[in-house]
Structure 1
Amino acid sequence: MVPTTKEMQRAELHKTIWRIANDLRGSVDGWDFKTYVLGMMFYRFISENLTDYINEGEWKAGNTDFDYCNLGDADARGIFKEMVAEKGFFIFPSNLFVNVRARAAQDENLNETLEGVFRNIEGSAAGTPSERDLKGLFADLDVNSPRLGGDGRAAKSETGQGS
């Protein structure tokens, strides 16, 4: 039987998690590892979920070449309030997982970039009903932990851009 796309994605995820575990072995305990990996997976999920949501809306409106990932942050400001009202949060295109990952190998301060991204996601809901749900969402994901490597190596490894 030929594996389905879902099975292939699950196998790739499994392989990636094991690779990360091997990269971090000895420097991070199991709980911190789980928190870090699951936090990054959640960040990726909400990035892809928001992107799909926005893209589908544009495609239904006839803009079939639209891809939110390629939109400039200034252009995305126009849908900020609408998306927070509909989804409960907002992520600017430059802060999407796919775009942070694409820049990770050249980002000397990836830990600071990720910290800012997480702060922006949480802050996008300020003053809205979803603020309580998002406040502190990424608090346990300490991208500045010395156990992860002070130069952001672990963060680069997690995003698939390890050196």
Structure 2
Amino acid sequence: DERFAPAGVLAPSSKADFAFLLHGLSWLSPSGIMAIVMFPGVCYRGGAERQIRKYLIDNNFIDSVITLPPNLFFGNSISACIIVLKKNKPDTSVLFINGSEEYAKATNKNKLSPQNIDNLLKFYTQRADVPFVCKVASYEEIATNDYNLSPSSYIEAKDTRERVDIKELNAEIKEIVERQAALRAQIDAIVADLEG
């Protein structure tokens, strides 16, 4: 089948996500843009799916991969991703966007508000590195990373851990140890007095 043959391998029958993508790509005009919502596993699973990713990257079809927030779709709480394809890209880079924080809480489901959609579109059109949100990765970087297309492999996660002042913490520990030693001395004196 000419839709799938160029990749040199068929998508696994148990995970046919890439079959839909390749079908859409075969109908895409040379100047068209295609966006498809996919399960994030297609971005990193091995085997035939890795070979299809390699085909897509080597032929410069992947324009962007956008992570969506979890719990957007009915009957499914996992986060999905959008893969944007073009046949007429001006360069070989791929834009990765972490859109996992772009949502509004709506009852027991999340939703993309107009502001969230505008933010994602702004990141896509600006096509620039933004700390913790966007990364433009070169072809060489993706090939070196074994054709992994997971945005988390390219975008550094924000460190949300509490910042600790080590000098202040050491002073507090020293004070606790001194108080403990004083209390231990008082207890030893009381015990000695009771024994003796």
Q: TM-score, normalised by structure 2?
A: 0.24
RCO comparison, higher one (Cα < 8 Å, 6+): 1
Q: TM-score, normalised by structure 1?
A: 0.27
Specify which structure has the higher proportion of helix.
1
Specify which structure has the higher proportion of strand.
2
Structure number with greater Rg is 2
